[in-house]
Each structure stands twice: as structure tokens, then as C-alpha cells.
A and B are shown apart, each in its own frame.
Chain A
Amino acid sequence: LNKSYKKDEL
């Protein structure tokens, strides 16, 4: 699973 920093927001 990749984690994109900017997409931790809803």
C-alpha cells in the first residue's frame, strides 16, 4: 500500500 502525504485529508 502506498501512502501519499497530501491525501491524508478528506
Chain B
Amino acid sequence: MNIFRLAGDMTHLASVLVLLLKIHTIKSCAGVSLKTQELYAIVFATRYLDIFTSFYSIYNTLMKLVFLGSSFSIVLYMKYHKTVHRSYDREQDTFRHWFLVLPCLLLALLIHEKFTFLEVLWTFSLYLEAVAILPQLVLLQRTRNIDNLTGQYVFLLGGYRGLYILNWIYRYFTEPHFVHWITWISGLVQTLLYADFFFYYSQSWKNNKKLQLPA
């Protein structure tokens, strides 16, 4: 494992911890998109089915369990915890996320490396992860006051994607035959979706002002 990959995983872990901290300690999910969280739960559930069929390392299995557990608990918290649920911006979080799931499934059925159940689901999870942040970005744009934790959550998620790209570049040059087009292209699309957010985040940071995205 290279430093970019480890840093990427740790940034991803940090983003989840920031979100859980907000929900668990402050008992608020204001500004957090339940649609995006549901999509991530689907992403991890379909990608990590291989914990039953393959073993890579203790690290790999542990991280998979952490991401599965955290994504499902965030969804359950937002849906069923009374106080947390009350802070949910239901009226603003209107992105029709199921319209992302179907095209991703169709695309995975069309473009994949092997036509097997696990492989198609794995490919589907990559396509879906690429666009899963969209409901969250739309909600951020609609939210007048973005609190620091929500901003940091999205910033860390974007950082994780950026570091994964550095990891792929590193692996391409250091490991023979490391070519994975599906992973790379969907990963690149996913990272590009954050570009706009990163611009406004850095502006607010530079000017020491509250983060606000233009309508």
C-alpha cells in the first residue's frame, strides 16, 4: 500500500467520522442529504459482497466493515432517530436519487469486465459512487447556512477521491500491468464533480468567511 492510498482511506474514514460526530453528538443532520447517504449504503452493500468470497488483508476487511456499518447507521439515524430526523432538511433534499440508480445499473450491465453477478454489482457500485454525491451538492447549494462540519465532510470526501487518483498514477508506474479503465474513468468523473465545491470552499477559507455556494 502506498502513501496516497493510505492517506485517501484515512481521509475517507475522517469524513465518515466527522459526519457521525455531527449526528451522534450534536444530534443534528441539518444540511446532510439522506439521498446521498442512501446511495452510499447501496454502493458499499453491492461493492463489499466480496468479504464473503475473498480475503485481501485484515486492514481491507476491517475498513469494509467500518464503511458498511457507518453508512447504514447514518441512514438509520437520519430516518428513525427522533431528534436527528427532526433536523433533516426534507423539503430541500428533493433530488430523485432513484433516477441515478437505474442508469448506473444499466451501464454496469453493458460495460463491465466480466459478466458475473459479483462483477456486475461491483461495477454498478463504482458507477453509482461516482454520482452519489450529487444530491448532497444540490442540498448544499440550497442551504443558506452551511455549518462547518457539513462543509468539512464534503471537503474530506473530495480529498479522498483526489488522493485515490494520485494512488492510481503511482500504482500505474510502480506495478506492472496496473490498468483499470472502469475504476479510473468513474473515479475521475467523481472527482471532477467536486471541483466546483472545492473552488468555493477554498475561497471561503482564504477570505475567512462562511461557506456559501452560489444559487
Interface residues of A (CB under 8 A from B): 1-4, 6-10
Bound-state CA distance A6–B50 (Å) is 12
The answer to whether A10 and B55 touch across the interface, beta carbons within 8 angstroms, is no
Q: Name B34-60 residues within 8 Å CB distance of A.
A: 50, 53-57, 60
A10 and B54 within 8 A (CB): no
A3 and B56 form a contact (CB under 8 A): yes
A7 to B53 CA separation, bound complex (whole angstroms): 12
Chain B residues lying within 8 Å of A10, measured Cβ to Cβ, are: 9, 12, 60, 63-64, 67
Residue B161 CB within 8 A of the other chain: no
- Knowing A1-B53, A1-B54, A1-B55, the reply to whether A6 touches B180 (Cβ < 8 A) is yes
Q: How many A-B residue contacts, CB cutoff 8 Å?
A: 29
Assuming the contacts A1-B53, A1-B54, A2-B53, asked whether A7 and B122 have C-beta atoms less than 8 A apart, the reply is yes
**Residue numbers in B under 8 Å from A2 (CB-CB):** 53-54
How many residues on B have C-beta within 8 angstroms of the other chain's C-beta atoms?
A: 18
- Nearest A-chain residue to B179, judged by Cβ: A6
Q: In the assembly, what is the distance between CA of A8 and CA of B5, in Å?
A: 11
Quote the shortest CB–CB distance from B21 to chain A (angstroms): 21
Please tell me if the beta carbons of A8 and B56 are within 8 angstroms of each other in the complex: yes
Q: Report B-chain residues with C-beta under 8 Å of the C-beta of A6.
A: 180, 183
Contact status B55-A3, CB under 8 Å: yes
Q: How far is the CB of A3 from chain B (nearest CB, A)?
A: 6
Q: B57: nearest residue on chain A (CB-CB)?
A: A8
**Given the complex of chains A and B, what is the CA–CA distance between A7 and B64 in angstroms?**
12
Chain A residues within 8 Å of B122, by CB: 7
10 A–B contacts from the bound complex (CB under 8 Å): A1-B53, A2-B54, A3-B56, A6-B180, A6-B183, A8-B57, A9-B167, A9-B183, A10-B12, A10-B63
